[in-house]
């Protein structure tokens, strides 16, 4: 391709509407990559923190000690640790109020953990809808720029008495650049969205499994005195 038909020249020669479409898609692509890298490192950190807390939990440490540690580092703790803390907090409050009904104790703790689980999942899923929107909308925005550019090129060709491939090619080529940029923005967003959605589903299953297992531990300890019911049991 000669210098006149280079990508940079085509962008500069495009109509104002097509240039605005290209600029918007490039900005969207940059924002998409920012979200992708942020989500990639964020999910990796969540998995690592959950694994660390899960090992500590199943090591048989006293639940009071685990709860005290979770309370101290509430802002930097793992999602699983915050879910544990919310369930343990509700369980201890109900025991302090002399609630003796085992069903009420378990239901209260489970509801607290489910509410915390939903908050954690909402946080983990943040910006995921943005990637979905970029992946689904960007190709159509690029196609709009292409259609507008081709229409603008044919309007310009209407005033020419002799039309050759050399006169048609630049206008069509600069219009097709918009579609290419739209696909450049959409393809990574779609791939990343599918990958992150699968990883988040695995994290959600892990957290839900922990809620059930911790509920079983609380149920086993309901028959013990309040001081003794804070020792984690085995799997």
pLDDT single digits (tens) 19-28: 888 889 999 9
Of 61-75, 84-98, 122-136, the range with the highest mean pLDDT is: 122-136
Q: What is the pLDDT of residues 77-94, one digit of tens each?
A: 789 999 999 999 998 888
Q: pLDDT above 70 covers what percent of the chain? A: 80
Q: What is the pLDDT of residues 139-183, one digit of tens each?
A: 999 998 888 888 877 776 666 666 565 666 666 777 788 888 999
Cβ atoms within 10 A of the Cβ of 115, count? 14
Specify which residues 231 forms β-bridges with. 62
Torsion of CA 20, 7, 32, 129, to 10 degrees: 60
What was the pLDDT predicted at 152? 74
Q: Which alpha helices (H) appear in the chain, and where do they start and end? A: 7-13, 16-57, 63-72, 79-96, 102-124, 128-157, 165-221
In whole angstroms, give the CA distance from residue 231 to residue 233.
6
What was the pLDDT predicted at 1? 42
Instruction: Say if residue 235's pLDDT is above 60.
Output: no
What was the pLDDT predicted at 226? 47
Question: What Cα–Cα distance (Å) separates residue 28 from each residue in 3, 43, 172?
Answer: 28, 22, 24
Q: What is the pLDDT of residues 180-196, one digit of tens each?
A: 899 999 999 999 999 99
Instruction: Say if residue 5's pLDDT is above 60.
Output: no
Q: What is the pLDDT of residues 199-220, one digit of tens each?
A: 999 999 999 999 999 999 888 8
Burial of 193 (0-12, 13-18, 19+ CB in 10 A): buried
Which letter does DSSP use for residue 3 in this model?
A: G
In whole angstroms, give the CA distance from residue 14 to residue 12.
6
| 3-class DSSP assignment, residue 168 | helix
pLDDT grade for 63, boundaries at 50, 70 and 90: confident
Q: Is the pTM above the cut of 0.95?
A: no
The answer to whether 182 touches 141, Cβ cutoff 8 Å, is yes
What was the pLDDT predicted at 85? 92
The set of long-range contacts for 36-41, using a CB threshold of 8 Å and a minimum separation of 24, is 36/131, 36/188, 36/189, 36/192, 38/127, 39/127, 39/128, 39/131, 39/192, 39/196, 40/192, 40/196
């Amino acid at each position: 391709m000669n210098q006149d038909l280079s990508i940079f020249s085509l962008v500069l020669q495009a109509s104002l509407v097509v240039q605005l479409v290209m600029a918007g898609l490039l900005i969207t692509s940059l924002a998409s990559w920012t979200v992708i890298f942020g989500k990639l490192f964020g999910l990796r950190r969540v998995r690592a923190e959950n694994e660390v807390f899960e090992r500590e939990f199943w090591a048989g440490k006293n639940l009071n000690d685990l709860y005290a540690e979770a309370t101290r580092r509430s802002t930097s703790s793992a999602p699983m640790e915050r879910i544990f803390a919310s369930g343990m907090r509700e369980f201890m409050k109900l025991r302090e109020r002399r609630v003796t009904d085992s069903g009420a104790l378990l239901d209260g703790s489970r509801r607290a953990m489910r509410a915390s689980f939903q908050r954690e999942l909402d946080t983990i899923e943040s910006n995921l809808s943005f990637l979905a929107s970029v992946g689904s909308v960007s190709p159509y925005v690029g196609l709009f720029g292409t259609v507008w550019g081709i229409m603008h090129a044919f309007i310009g060709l209407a005033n020419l008495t002799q039309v050759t491939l050399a006169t048609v090619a630049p206008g069509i080529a600069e219009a097709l650049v918009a579609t290419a940029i739209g696909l450049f923005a959409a393809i990574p967003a779609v791939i990343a969205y599918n990958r992150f959605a699968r990883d988040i589903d695995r994290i959600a299953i892990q957290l839900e499994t922990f809620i059930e297992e911790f509920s079983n531990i609380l149920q086993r300890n309901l028959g013990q005195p309040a001081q003794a019911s804070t020792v984690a049991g085995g799997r």
